Amino acid sequence: MGSRGMNLMRARIKGMLVRRRGRVVGIKALIVFLLILLISILIIMFIMVTDSEEEEVKEIGDIYIPYEYLKKAYTKANEEGISFSRLLTYSAFEANFVPDEYRDRVLSSSLEIIRNRGKMNKYQKNLYDIYSKVFDDLKVGPIPEKKKIYRWNDKEKIWKQEDIVHYNYTSTNDFGAVRTYGGDRTHEGNDLIADMGTPIVSMTDGEITRLGWNEYGGQRIGITSNKGTYFYYAHMDSYADGMIKGKRVKAGEVIGYIGDTGYGPPGTRGKLVPHLHIQIGYKKGGFSKEYSWFNPYDIVKFLDDYRVTLVEKNQ
């Protein structure tokens, strides 16, 4: 074969290889495209399912639970060594989300389901996700029960109790009430009326993720619990020592003091009766960026049985 023939053959082989590589690249590109398309479809389907489950819970009714039942369920959950939020989930469905139906029979039937290892359907799983975020990290009430004050007795070399201060508050179920400052809106928390300067403690372990002035909330602290639930404490007169953004706090730790700040630019005081505004936010599913707000009223009343005693020592 002459040089011309050899060159022609090389050109044909090269052309075949180029075409083959082109086909391989095209097939790879098609596979990548199909994978991206499949993943996108799966994500959209997951979001649609999650949204439909959330709508189902909304259609069933309110998802808060009366505090009297919360107290009974919490005691039973501890006695039985079971999940509090799991018991609440079955209870809500057994009561058909009707507040007056949270009775002993609902508690008994819910406990029986758990003892028999009942499996949750998709709607129950969705509600369990909400309840676990809201209830699992709760430990103490936001207003301490009392403070014991001790003074050092140099003669006896011991701390002696000198005084005791009791703290009280009042509240109503004002979640959803009308508010007009800044335009018509609804109240997304619960107000606890107490004396100016009353200590406020964190209801959960968590991290301070917001701190400083808020036009509506005045001096406020936002604490994100270990489950990712957001606890918002507003209208403080002042913060406790050492409160900074990023600090880890323990349940029962003093974070600030009851005040009347807010409804204006930084420093605004006196437009409100001294009180603590509490707001509890959770995120639905794994894709939500916005908080949904849970009615704190019954939670605070439930935690009345778990208010702490503060200790102050003076030299």
Kindly tell me if the per-residue pLDDT of 10 is higher than 90: no
Please state which of the ranges 32-36, 138-142, 231-235 shows the lowest mean pLDDT: 32-36
Kindly tell me if the per-residue pLDDT of 13 is higher than 90: no
Kindly tell me if the per-residue pLDDT of 50 is higher than 50: no
Instruction: Please write the tens of the pLDDT for every residue from 115-139.
Output: 998 889 999 999 999 999 999 999 9
Instruction: Please write the tens of the pLDDT for every residue from 173-212.
Output: 998 888 888 888 888 899 999 999 999 999 999 999 999 9
Rounded-to-integer distance, Cα 20 and Cα 26, Å: 10
Rounded-to-integer distance, Cα 221 and Cα 202, Å: 10
Rounded-to-integer distance, Cα 18 and Cα 298, Å: 73
DSSP state of 70: H
Write down the mean pLDDT value for the chain. Answer: 87
Rounded-to-integer distance, Cα 268 and Cα 217, Å: 10
The first and second tokens of residue 107, run together, are 């508690």
Q: How many CB atoms lie within 10 A of CB 254?
A: 19
pLDDT at residue 23, rounded to an integer: 62
pLDDT at residue 56, rounded to an integer: 39
Instruction: Tell which wins on pLDDT, 136 or 51.
Output: 136
Confidence of residue 5 (pLDDT cuts 50, 70, 90): low
Mean pLDDT (whole number) for 238-243 = 97
Instruction: Please write the tens of the pLDDT for every residue from 73-114.
Output: 999 999 999 999 999 999 999 999 999 999 999 999 999 999
Kindly tell me if the per-residue pLDDT of 243 is higher than 70: yes
Counting DSSP H helices and E strands in the chain, the numbers are 6, 14
| Contact (CB, 8 A) for 304 and 143 | no
Rounded-to-integer distance, Cα 34 and Cα 28, Å: 10
* pTM for this prediction: 0.79
Altogether, the residues listed in the chain come to a count of 315
Write the CATH number of the domain with boundaries 146-314: 2.70.70.10
Rounded-to-integer distance, Cα 80 and Cα 310, Å: 31
Sequence ranges of the domains in the chain: 1-60, 67-135, 146-314
Among the listed residues 219, 226, 227, the one whose alpha carbon sits nearest the alpha carbon of residue 277: 219
Mean pLDDT (whole number) for 296-314 = 95
Instruction: Please write the tens of the pLDDT for every residue from 213-233.
Output: 999 999 999 999 999 999 999
Q: Show the beta-strand stretches assigned E in 67-174.
A: 146-153, 158-166
Q: Show the beta-strand stretches assigned E in the chain.
A: 146-153, 158-166, 178-179, 185-186, 190-193, 199-201, 206-214, 218-225, 230-239, 248-249, 254-258, 275-282, 292-294, 309-314
